[in-house]
Structure 1
Amino acid sequence: MKTKFKIRHAACLIASTLMAGVAKAESPLEKALAQPGAKPTIPVTQVKEGFSKQFIDQANASFGNFHMQMGGDHALYYAVNMSKYIPAELAMPHGEVSVLKRNIDESLNDLTFTMGDGTESVSLNDYIHDEKTRVQGIMILKGGEVVYEAYPGMHPSDTHVWASVSKSAVGTILTMLEVEGKVDMSKPITEYVPELKGTKWDSVIMLDAMNMASGLDISENAANTLNPNSVFQRMLSADFNVENAQGVIEDEMKVLRDVESLEGEPSGKFARYSSTITKVLGVAIENITQQPFTQVFEDRIWSKVGARASAQINLSPAGHALAYGLFNSRLDDLARYGLLFTPSWNKVSEEQVVSQQVLEKMQKGGNHEAYLAGDFTDHSWVKAAFGKDMPIYNTHQWDAAWEDGALFKHGNLYQNLYVDPERDVVGVAFSTSPVYLTPDLIPGYLREAAKQLSDQ
């Protein structure tokens, strides 16, 4: 498949290392890609066929955060087996499994949309089966019923890493706590994470943290990603329990105390993507509730959707949930979660988990000026998938919000969650795709599907 779009910025974990034109001789990127299993040479269908013991042994020996982010052959195994490598707690389902009725619309196989460069995309069916896209599973629901599903590269029963799609749960839970009067979004984040008091975090209010406009040097740009001494990279090393550039395993919270402010960027003025912010917000949830994040997630969300299986939430060495990227679940259970944000919440839950007040705070809580001033619009999938139908801002840990109230969250290796309350549509997808192969167009298909389904 051909595309005219140049990769400029990746928006999750350390994916920005794969920006075109960044790598130089002997760069960390080139070294990483030179390792066995780092490049995609086998099809995603291999996940369904299974892996040899030799392959698994090699993947075991090579596991690491940077290696996983390459999206290569080993990443196919890691993405569906993450909790084999990083300790996890289970958010358990409660009660009976909610039934997702099927009302398949075959016409969606032929779905196309106008891409950012003005050209027409290939059909959805052709796209998800193209060897370069490495889509593993996709599901679209209208009115709580499944109207489209395909599993090119995984079994429906497989669990898969959400990557940064998990950030939406952090934003949702904190908004719930705000509505309940347990969080004041105008207060400094250190009011709720006192472990960071006396640092530059004191200048960041909760609302700015929710919208990733901290004014701190923690964005996932090329400079921070390629610098092993950046707070961002040191945080990842600490969370994955590996040595930093100096050969030391650091304390994750002490690393976060070393942040510096960006010159000329006060809090709230520039939205810059940062998993580091979500890390701190996850700790805030634990401090506010005095419960482990996984328990909060289970009590407030996972226990109420009629999930078919548990959600696995990986933990840092200190026991904090890696809520910025390491949730794992079945695709249909991610879809059940997405339904909570739509009028069809009652198809999976006995109660309205995401109240109208919580939903509206997320839909209307962004900052258009900060969004345009920051780096969110540089993400390759934004430019490729939305074109003239650009979001108005990021908000409350969601990457995109539109005037019509739709919300979208993207994840590294191309995970997708699209919720459209007005049209009563949910779209989810799992992939294991390196960002340097092609921009992710699934967001554009999900948005276009919502529009066309609502016109029928």
Structure 2
Amino acid sequence: MPPRIAITTLLTACMLTAGSMAQAQDPLEEALKVPGAKPVLPVSAAKKPFDNDFIAEARKYWGNFHWQMGGDHALYYNTHLSEFVPMAASPAVGDVRPLQRTPVDSVKATTFVHDDGSTAIPLDDYVMILHHGKVVYEAYPGLNPEQSHFWASVTKSTVGLLASILEEEGLIDVNKPVTAYARQLAGTAWDKVSVIDALNMAVGLDIQEDLPALTNPMSMFQRFGAAELGVPNGDGVVETPVAVLRAAQPIPGEAPGMPSRYSTLTTKVLVYVIEGATGRSFIDLFGEKVWSKIGARQPFMVGLGPDGVAGAYGMGFSAIEDLARYALIYTPSWNVVSKTEIVSPGVLKELQTSGNHDAYMAGDWTRGWVGDVFGKDMPVFNSRQFDAAWADGALFKHGNLFQGIYVDPMRDVVGVFFSTVPMTAGNDLLPGYIRQAAKNLAGK
């Protein structure tokens, strides 16, 4: 297989190789036999228009499971998502806030130490970054700067942020059960889940998102994904998102709050919470409180489920530079893009400190990709939809097929990246590089 270079741009351009395909279970083996499921094209192919035959084939096989494979068709899906799902948009408002470029050549030499003590290859084979609100490193191996791209689970950060803003405004009490606001789930296991436990991915329900769930067409995750796209599940049945969520059951021996287990379904529930608490749509609220204030060049778009509710668990869509503008609002350089402080000190503190170390350690986070990606520089917990929060206040959120956002208020550094990498390719090491580059840039 030829190298699969990750589509990246501003702040963090990534050039990851796919590696050999891992030994798969039967559903994955079968899925990989479908045309377009394996990466064959170089990622640079996405910089030019695809021909009609390729587009027709991609359309033929469109579906959540096929998309998540990260093969050649995903190159098209990730940059043309609005052709496959209905999307709501928050328009760019006012003048564009330009980002200055002040390249720092030394960033290319960044390395970091793996958990086993070995040193990673230089950042020059991977990346790019922003310091004090200025772009210090960028590259576009598989994406034109003006192209929009799928955010994947980086979108979840918008849910954690918006819920925290609404909490500060007194519209959400995070200690109440989610069904106090998400009434469509009342009378189910969700009655015992608090908003804060949902924000921290600690719901105690059988909706965990891990490799078995990703590769099993009838897992709760894949059933939900099919329902959100309005397509049949692995058994050929079209379900509604609410029906799948209502079917969630407690994990034997566990309870909400312990341990923390990652799940996209939980974020959809939080969107219901936000809309139930305000009586307004997610996209309108996010546009009013965030996107309209950052001097974006293009709209922020988010896919809608069949129920018309935003898929803010992963269906965000924008240009990379606008994702960078969004990232800056968490840092002291927020005024580079906004006239007003969108993320207040109180909201930022909640985002940085709301996690539970014991729940984090008891979950899969530290035994899985987090430990591999950050080596000995481990985060202390996940917090309010961010996958990693460090004692120094830095936050990171990852997305499937390797998307990411790193915000480091203390060092005034942010990093964002887009890519299309097969889910069987192993762990994304790029976040470890970004964090090390942030330390190097800040001198600590």
Range of TM-score over shorter length: over 0.9
Cα deviation digits, residues 149-206 of structure 1 (max 9, x gap):
1111100001010000000000000001111111111111110101111110011011
Residue 30 of structure 2 corresponds to residue 41 of structure 1: no
Q: What is the CA–CA distance in structure 2 between the aligned matches of 1:377 and 1:284, rounded to whole Å? A: 29
Aligned to 1:440: 428
Cα deviation digits, residues 57-84 of structure 1 (max 9, x gap):
1111111111111111111111111111
The alpha-carbon deviation at position 233 of structure 1 amounts to 2.4
The alpha-carbon deviation at position 354 of structure 1 amounts to 0.5
Residue 302 of structure 2 corresponds to residue 349 of structure 1: no
Aligned to 1:399: 387
Aligned to 1:55: 54
**8 A Cα contact 1:19 1:222, kept in partner:** no
Give the count of matched residue pairs: 427
Report the CA distance shift for 1:19/1:412 in structure 2 as closer, same or farther (over 3 A).
farther
Aligned AA (1:371): Y
Q: What is the CA–CA distance in structure 2 between the aligned matches of 1:365 and 1:19, rounded to whole Å? A: 37
Q: How does 1:209-358 map to 2 (within 5 A)?
A: 209-358=198-347
**8 A Cα contact 2:184 2:242, kept in partner:** yes
Q: How does 1:416-435 map to 2 (within 5 A)?
A: 416-435=404-423
TM-score under structure 1 length normalisation: 0.91
Report the CA distance shift for 1:245/1:433 in structure 2 as closer, same or farther (over 3 A).
closer
Q: How does 1:153-168 map to 2 (within 5 A)?
A: 153-168=142-157
Q: 364, 371, 384: which is aligned to 2:372?
A: 384
Aligned to 2:74: 75
TM-score under structure 2 length normalisation: 0.93
Residue 177 of structure 2 corresponds to residue 178 of structure 1: no
Tell me the SS of whatever aligns to 2:405.
strand
Aligned to 1:192: 181
**8 A Cα contact 2:63 2:226, kept in partner:** no
The alpha-carbon deviation at position 223 of structure 1 amounts to 4.5
**8 A Cα contact 1:305 1:348, kept in partner:** yes
Q: What is the CA–CA distance in structure 1 between the aligned matches of 2:360 and 2:366, rounded to whole Å? A: 8
Cα deviation digits, residues 215-254 of structure 1 (max 9, x gap):
1111013454444444332211110101123432122212
**8 A Cα contact 2:27 2:217, kept in partner:** no
Aligned to 2:112: 113
Tell me the SS of whatever aligns to 1:376.
coil
Q: 334, 354, 358: which is aligned to 1:365?
A: 354
Cα deviation digits, residues 391-435 of structure 1 (max 9, x gap):
000000000000000000000010010000000000001110113
Q: What is the CA–CA distance in structure 2 between the aligned matches of 1:227 and 1:42, rounded to whole Å? A: 26
The alpha-carbon deviation at position 358 of structure 1 amounts to 0.1
Tell me the SS of whatever aligns to 2:157.
helix
The alpha-carbon deviation at position 259 of structure 1 amounts to 1.0
Tell me the SS of whatever aligns to 1:93.
coil
Percentage of matched positions with identical amino acids: 50
Q: Which runs of 5+ in 2 are unaligned?
A: 4-19
**8 A Cα contact 2:22 2:425, kept in partner:** no
Q: What is the CA–CA distance in structure 1 between the aligned matches of 2:372 and 2:333, rounded to whole Å? A: 30
Tell me the SS of whatever aligns to 1:291.
coil
Tell me the SS of whatever aligns to 2:431.
helix
The alpha-carbon deviation at position 385 of structure 1 amounts to 2.2
The alpha-carbon deviation at position 19 of structure 1 amounts to 9.7
Aligned AA (2:233): N
Cα deviation digits, residues 340-367 of structure 1 (max 9, x gap):
0000000000000000000001101000
Q: 134, 151, 154: which is aligned to 2:140?
A: 151
Aligned AA (1:111): T
The alpha-carbon deviation at position 331 of structure 1 amounts to 0.6
Aligned to 1:449: 437
Tell me the SS of whatever aligns to 1:303.
helix
**8 A Cα contact 2:183 2:276, kept in partner:** no
Q: What is the CA–CA distance in structure 2 between the aligned matches of 1:280 and 1:205, rounded to whole Å? A: 11
RMSD: 1.7
Q: What is the CA–CA distance in structure 1 between the aligned matches of 2:196 and 2:284, rounded to whole Å? A: 24
Aligned AA (1:440): D
Q: What is the CA–CA distance in structure 1 between the aligned matches of 2:249 and 2:417, rounded to whole Å? A: 36
Tell me the SS of whatever aligns to 2:269.
helix
**8 A Cα contact 2:152 2:403, kept in partner:** yes
Q: What is the CA–CA distance in structure 1 between the aligned matches of 2:21 and 2:259, rounded to whole Å? A: 21
Q: What is the CA–CA distance in structure 1 between the aligned matches of 2:243 and 2:92, rounded to whole Å? A: 35
**8 A Cα contact 1:117 1:384, kept in partner:** no
The alpha-carbon deviation at position 269 of structure 1 amounts to 1.1
